[in-house]
Amino acid sequence: MSAAVFTYGSLTFEPVWQAVVRGACHSVPARVRGYRRHALRDATYPAMVAADGGEVLGRLWLAVPDDDLVRLDRFEGAEYRRVTVPAHALAGGPPVAAQAYLWLDPARLLPHDWDIAAFERDHLRDFARVHGAAGGRD
């Protein structure tokens, strides 16, 4: 079996994705509506939470094998819960039922969006090495 997975943070970057999963998955730019991405206190990775009128841009990974879902669950850890969300490829087409990781601790949310450009510039190079497949961070 396999599933689609929507990512919105560190896992949108190929080097981080490849440090966690074993399979080669195709991906496309995508968005989910009804959620918002936040920066987190004391973290370089983001959180996604339900929010009326919100929209989160990210990446939709297709046909992710079940054993890689287990690896992703382990990577995200207890700070996140995996749920099914309707993801829309930016190129169009019908929504896809995708797995996504929602943040569980509202006390650590900052009021602003996570800065993906700052993550790429300042943290991406070492992120996969530091967090590897064991520590969680979408």
Q: What confidence tens digit (pLDDT) does each residue in 78-107 have?
A: 999 999 999 999 999 999 999 999 999 999
Radius of gyration in angstroms for the set of CA atoms belonging to the chain, rounded to a whole number: 14
Res 134: pLDDT:
44
Report the distance separating Cα 2 and Cα 22, nearest Å: 13
- Tell me if residue 45 falls in helix, strand or coil: coil
Domain ranges of the chain: 2-106
Which residues of the chain carry a pLDDT beneath 50? Answer: 133-138
pTM of the full structure = 0.92
The CATH code of domain 2-106 reads 3.10.490.10
